[in-house]
Structure 1
Amino acid sequence: MSGRSEKSLSEEDRVLWSLVARSAKPLKGRAAVELPPEPPMTMEQAMAEKVVTTPPAPTKAKPKQTVTQSFDAPTHDKLAKGRLPIEGRVDLHGLTQEEAYSLLLSFLNRAYAGGVRYVLVITGKGSSSGGEGVLRRAVPAWLATPPFRILVSSHDHAARNHGGAGALYVRLRRHPVQRP
């Protein structure tokens, strides 16, 4: 046993665990365990909630005016060759856009608070029917929105050994409390 009690889980950890638990499939010959429904959020809790959990609605009317934030070549090469450590990774496979958005935002908030500098975000390459994946297109757009801009310094496509077109390297901003 790890010695951790159930009461030590934060709200973000419980949300993450419920996402994982819903995606699990029972072993052959065993019945699925029914999870108790999550208690409804009170009005006070909803008002106190500071994290936006829904992705911004896509707008097709205005052209892209955001400059793609990418790494300089030496930094990208160091990440690809393992000379710069990737201190965290999150896999968004199989999640809906809303689930992926909230998981990515909470993951990046925790990483930023922990002083992590480089993380790997795995989006997947999308369907095999020739279409580009929804998350593969959406995540770079999300990283340019205000909730993420305060955390993310830059991002770029990962090297082949880290997932290639189905993953992104993300450089987080330095935490103001920590000094290099």
Structure 2
Amino acid sequence: MTRRPHKTLSDEDRVLWSLVARTAVPLRGRALPPAETPGPAAGVPPPPVPVSAAPAASAPAKPLPPPPRHLDRPTLDKLAKGRLPIEARVDLHGMTQDEAYSLLFSFLHRAHAAGLRYVLVITGKGSSSGGDGVLRRSVPGWLATSAFRMFVSSHEHAARHHGGAGALYVRLRKVR
């Protein structure tokens, strides 16, 4: 197995990592490392300071869309019976969480930009004995985060012939 080259984290990834790292508990007998505060990226100059004495009026921030909810029963039945087309699919089998997250984000971004409405995300059921797969547990949580809210309207486990509990139907938001 070959190692992939080390990539630097984006500011968004760094914030997400710091949120996850706060929930981690150090091993017994180990000290907690000092908290790392996300700062500006190296080599990037700080933004210019406005010269005017009046405070700058910031543009009103767009509110995030509501979090994804479950698909309604009629739509779920139509997808399961093939009366609504699944316009694209992505298979996350055998990937690490980082690889799967990146691929899922870029896939949903491209599908949303292309105006697709229903896609299938295959996570697999996992191979751990007696437990669920990591991606099977993680992907629904990812779809509920603010990073995916711009694309995802709703999601639900797929019908058995589409992968059952190892796959998800995802309805994407309409492009405005």
Fold-level similarity (TM above 0.5): yes
1:57 paired to 2:20 = yes
- In the TM superposition, structure 1's runs of 4+ consecutive aligned residues that sit over 2 Å from their partners are 49-61
Identity percentage over the alignment? 63
Instruction: State the partner residue of 1:74.
Output: 74
In the TM superposition, residue 57 of structure 1 has moved relative to its aligned partner by 2.5
TM-score computed with the length of structure 1 as normaliser: 0.64
Note the aligned Cα RMSD (angstroms). Answer: 3.2
- Gapped runs of 5+ residues in structure 2? 25-65
1:130 paired to 2:130 = yes
Instruction: State the partner residue of 1:15.
Output: none
Kindly indicate whether the alpha-carbon contact (under 8 Å) linking 2:67 and 2:153 is maintained by their aligned counterparts in 1. no
Instruction: State the partner residue of 2:160.
Output: 160
In the TM superposition, residue 52 of structure 1 has moved relative to its aligned partner by 4.3
Kindly indicate whether the alpha-carbon contact (under 8 Å) linking 1:52 and 1:102 is maintained by their aligned counterparts in 2. no
Deviations 1:59-82 (A, max 9, x none): 879xxxx98721111100000000
TM-score computed with the length of structure 2 as normaliser: 0.65
- Gapped runs of 5+ residues in structure 1? 1-21, 23-33
> How many pairs are equivalent?
133
Kindly indicate whether the alpha-carbon contact (under 8 Å) linking 1:152 and 1:173 is maintained by their aligned counterparts in 2. yes
Kindly indicate whether the alpha-carbon contact (under 8 Å) linking 2:157 and 2:165 is maintained by their aligned counterparts in 1. yes
> Which protein has the bigger helix share?
1
Return the alpha-carbon distance in structure 2 between the equivalents of residues 149 and 119 of structure 1. 15
With over 3 angstroms needed to count, the CA separation of the structure-2 counterparts of 1:112 and 1:67, relative to structure 1, is closer
Secondary structure of 1:156's partner?
strand
Secondary structure of 1:169's partner?
strand
Kindly indicate whether the alpha-carbon contact (under 8 Å) linking 1:105 and 1:148 is maintained by their aligned counterparts in 2. yes
| Structure of greater Rg | 2
1:99 paired to 2:62 = no
